[in-house]
Chain A
Amino acid sequence: MKSRRLTLALAAVAAVAVAGPVVATAQSGEDPGPAVRTPAQAVGPIDQPEPAVKIGPAHGRGNGKQKVVPVADTERIQVVAGGDPGCPAAVQVGMRNQTKKDVYSDMTVEFDGPLTPSRPMLSSYLPAGYELGAKLLLTAPQQATPGDYSLKLDVAGEDLTVPVSVVALDDIENGGNLALRRPATASSTVLSGNYPACGAVDGDSTSDGWAGGNGWNDGTSRVWPDTFDVTLDGPHQLSRVDLYTLDTERYPAAKYGLRDWDVQVRAGGQWQTVAQVRGNVAGLVSSRFTPVTADAIRILTLGSNSGDYSRIIEVEAYE
């Protein structure tokens, strides 16, 4: 279902309400007609991230000519201890085939620290000259001891070590954004885990990686309102909340982004509306308001330009 892949993610109702005349009585939405070939209900393409295999920027060691060498897209990884497991630290790791032959190759992944990488090995076919990248996820439990560790990638003796620092949540550099990596919850979320609430406080305000964990999508099509909450580490004076909604060339905010919402803050245990946005068509809206001391923020979503879902890439809160 080629070009409909991402469209499906955004219009699930239309995708399953197909039935053929051979089964003329089966017009219900959960009963796909003969030509709907995928099991649309439980595992349908509604929420599949793109395959992780892709060529990306990478650094590897300069040696290993005529060999398959491990590569990674970053020189250092930071993992927050006790961070939301729905939004692990991600690093693109892989292999580059520097030989002139097409090969199948295995890479082992070892970590000497207080966490387990999402995959112990990576295996793939590698055409000559091809570089493979796949996502490796790292989560550290709350009790993980902060410190410097190393991730070791090894392809038949060719190795690459990537330093990993485990840091406490309170020690991360947040640039003044009080919502960064703080606990996020939502009224509903697409079940697959590809649109977690924590994706909207992960520090990535670009729309890259939508459907790959970088943003929140509610789980109730055409049901409004939805709520998206972030709990701060304590009371702070707030005067500005920035909201990034889905906005790419293919899925512009004017067609798919959030249109109407209220910005609320929790002060003294009570939610109060501090700003309202209506008729938005932009990817970023900065709401400024009279300073108020609050320990949580809420986005009360009222409508999107596509009418179906709330899609938030990032929420930031400032003094």
Chain B
Amino acid sequence: MDDDRRLSRHLTDSSRRGFLGVTGAAFTLAFGARLADPWTPSAPAARSADYPFQLGVASGDPLTDSVVLWTRLAAKPLEPLGGMPYARQRVDWEVAEDERFTRRVRQGSTWATPEYGHSVHVEARGLRPGREYFYRFRTGREISPVGRTKTAPEHTGLLKLAFASCASWPDGFYTAYRHLAEENPDVVFHLGDYLYEYGILADGGRRKTPVPDQFRVQCDTLDRYRIQYGLYKSDPDLQAAHQAAPWIVTWDDHEVLDNYAAEVGPGGNVSEQDFLVIRANAYRAFWENQPLRLPQRPQGPEARLYRRFRFGGLAEFNVLDGRQYRSDQLCGDGQQVGCDERLDPSRTMLGDEQERWLLDGLGRSRATWNVLAQQVAISQLDFDPAAPQRLSMDLWDGYKAARDRIFTGIVDRKVRNPVVLTGDIHYNLAGELKADFDDPDSATIGIELVGTSISSGGNGNPATGLPPGGRDAVNPHIRFSSYTRGYVSCEVTPQQWRTDFRVVPYVDRPGAPVETKATFTTLDGHPGLNTGA
């Protein structure tokens, strides 16, 4: 059997039938008997030195009847093969309605193969909509931590979500992920820069945690990207966040190389052919390490990551890929004055196919809230307090005609309550999307919520920024900004979208408390930001 067919078989839970039909009962007993109560600290918490579940567990991409369950076997997470033998290994999995696994609803068995870094992607099917489930894995005598997940609802009047981005490991601790986990959201969106490709100093940067020599050089080959994920995913706070809720992930640039655009690598010193090899390695490692389905699995340097999720009639999420298909950044990238080429209508951020897919989907949607979960700021951001405007060529400002097509498409299709979720810039921002950003009196067509970084940039500066409800002189559509670390928590009902910007005061040491820096509400049918709950 070739690689593809074997994998696609492993990714479904079809093998479950064999278990239930022939050995199901015995298997259930064996699995259950060994683990009386996994939540009790005295349960098999004494992990062996070569415990294979050191990267934790995760779930993702929830549909009404299924969810992806993920783990990756690694006894030594900082080694290319995770310290596992170069051989496939059997992994059992089970899903239950309760965290003690007394009401088991699904189970099965699959293979972790060295070709995929011993990762496991199980699509658990036949689940009920809008329900909480618990899952775990077993290989040999070892049992994984228990994860909590939740399927998408068919109907709902309440959705609690969180979104996050930009988590450079050497820049600081993942305390914000820990607080996010404690909120037990229904779903978590990750908007990219989950991992940075850079080499890491011997002392682990701000973490002052030594890392081996192999981490000094930048990521390029698949083995190198794999150990980078091994390091990142060893973090207990990140593991807690994955364990708490299903994630829906997209990527930005640093999952590959800084500010790449389609087939163009950074610096102009990597040929297109070489860059596409790096991109293929990066995409592959990303898929191996995230709870994604088979259709998202890369074929070499190409991967279909953009996709859509519905949470009843309440909200529809368009998860975008703003890197793989975009036109190259203009005028040397960075912030530029002038650079009228940015107005060129042939420039694209999403590529023609994804752009059409997005607008078609928005046009068809019946949801109350229509969300773009994506990478870079879509609002105009003028970085110069004086005239003329200084705009960043990496953001949608460098792709103005493409943004105008999206905005016009939204207005033409009378899309209900557009909400854009953004990461990338290590800043909290809340803004109103204007039909014409240069005319403050033009129509407000939706809102943008930019979430700051989890750790990238270090501690930040809480004294910086625009208080909630204020107006920035040169960017009057921006109503709040804050250079702090954290994530964003949202509570969505048919009547309103409530946003809490959650921040931590420091990341250079663990244990920071969390507080709400700003709260906004947006009412159904009234695009704009109101301060407070």
Contacts and interface: CB of A to CB of B under 8 A. Distances in A.
Interface stretch (A41-49, A171-179, A270-278, A300-308): A41-49
A25 B463 contact: yes
Given A2-B259, A2-B266, A22-B475, A121 B483 contact: no
A193 interface: yes
Contacts of B86: 106, 108
A192 B201 contact: yes
A192 B170 CA distance: 12
Size bracket, chain B contacts? 35 or more
Chain A at the B interface: SS class? loop
Nearest to B382: A21
A46 B457 CA distance: 14
B267 interface: yes
B220 A26 contact: no
A119 B223 contact: yes
Contacts of B329: 2
Contacts of B205: 42-43
B266 A1 contact: yes
Contacts of A3: 267-268, 332-333
B274 A35 contact: no
Interface string A221-254: 0000000000000000000000000000000000
B240 interface: no
Interface stretch (B58-66, B88-96, B277-285, B307-315): B277-285
B129 interface: no
A38 B258 contact: yes
Interface string A88-109: 0000000000000010101010
B8 interface: no
B478 A22 contact: yes
A152 interface: no
B494 interface: no
Size bracket, chain A contacts? 35 or more
A121 B86 CA distance: 11
Contacts of A126: 277
A2 B199 CA distance: 18
Interface string B253-295: 1100111000011111111011011101100100000000000
Contacts of B223: 106, 119, 121-124
B274 to A, nearest CB: 5
B218 A51 contact: yes
Contacts of B333: 1-4
Contact of B277 (A44, A53, A192): A53
Interface stretch (B137-145, B316-324, B465-473, B498-506): B465-473
Given A3-B333, A18-B383, A32-B457, A26 B483 contact: yes
Interface of B: 79-81, 86, 114-115, 166, 168, 170-171, 196, 198-202, 205-206, 213-214, 216-224, 226, 253-254, 257-259, 264-271, 273-274, 276-278, 280-281, 284, 300-301, 328-329, 332-335, 376-377, 381-385, 392, 394-395, 424-427, 429, 453, 455-458, 461, 463-466, 472-475, 478, 481, 483
